[in-house]
Amino acid sequence: MSGYLALALSVGVLAVLDTWLFFGPLAAVLPGLVWISFIAWGCHFHSGGGTKGATTAAVGMTWGSLVGVAAVLLASGPLAGLGDPLAISVTVGLGAFVICLSSKVPLLATIPASVYGFAAVAGPIALGKMTATEAIGPVVGSILIGAAFGYVSEIVANALTKKA
């Protein structure tokens, strides 16, 4: 089978399983956060695939989500006196600053991975489903599942690919 078709088949079948997990057995602990898993899955490939891609997705997105939680806590705590629009804007800017500075650390060198995590943690908070501290565990769990699905989908695709 061609690599193109093998990857499509692998990703398509595993997407069914990933989605079923989030709306089935994991629904109580990771409520509807399948979209974060898919972001991490894409981040795996965006970051080069293989062990490096999975590690970059898991570590970078987790770091970004932690920076995002810190931004929310700053906006609703010490900087709350600035008012919502300004406090949120300032803390997003600080978060972006921290993410860029942290790219000096080799595991955090792929800035987009951290940005994906920063943005992903905002979803469950902005939708009013979770507080910042409630969101971090499920978001990181979803990131790790997505990074794993990226890695597995690549292995399955490679196994299905016709070798010359």
Q: What is the pLDDT confidence band of residue 31, given thresholds at 50, 70 and 90?
A: confident
In tens, the pLDDT along 96-114 reads: 999 999 999 999 999 999 9
Phi, psi of 43 (to 5 degrees): -60, -35
In tens, the pLDDT along 43-93 reads: 999 999 999 999 999 999 999 999 999 999 999 999 999 998 999 999 999
Confidence at residue 164, expressed as pLDDT on a 0 to 100 scale? 67
Closest to 139 in 3D by CA, of 149, 129, 150: 129
Residue 38's alpha-carbon distances to 24, 61, 84, 121, 164, in angstroms, are 16, 12, 30, 14, 31
pTM of the complete model: 0.94
Q: Is the predicted pLDDT of residue 136 greater than 90, yes or no?
A: yes
